[in-house]
Structure 1
Amino acid sequence: MKKIITASLLGLLLASGVHAAGSAQQNLMGTCNTEATGKKGEERKAFMSSCLSDGKKRQQEKMKMCNTDATGKKGDERKAFMSDCLKK
């Protein structure tokens, strides 16, 4: 019984993490799409490619910054801090 409950909770935690990552990507897509208004064809394609790859770099930089700022925090405190920091 404990194994079933543990497996269920683990599944829920993993599923919620995937959803959060998906929404961040969706936000980036929406932002890039808005900025690409008026561009067509190859120009739009090149812009979207550049914008989305820049977004990955921005997210990585934000992750590094938040991770550095979270030094010294542990457990739930660190989790809460990282969550808030990455949402900004």
Structure 2
Amino acid sequence: MKKILPLIAALSLSCSLGFVHAAEAVVKTPQQNKMTACNADAKDKKGDERKAFMKECLSAKKETQQSKMTSCNADAKAKTLKGDERKAFMKECLSAKPAA
């Protein structure tokens, strides 16, 4: 009995610490991530300039992979690329970061 009580106390403590840790590990939503990024970009702006920047930043739509594929295909076609040259162009185009 003397050995069981400390074991139960230790298990209880470790379980309660696990719940506290799980509560701290809350996952942010995409909108919260966007807000964090926009706030970081707007750190040097003040007043109306900041307000306008935040409105634009938060309402900006992220380019979808489908729209990126469409525009890269159109560019490759316009440049009349074929074979390995086209593959290299598409890889570069699809992996490029959108202009901020």
How does the TM-score come out when normalised to structure 1?
0.41
Higher radius of gyration, 1 or 2: 2
Which has the larger helix fraction?
1
How does the TM-score come out when normalised to structure 2?
0.36
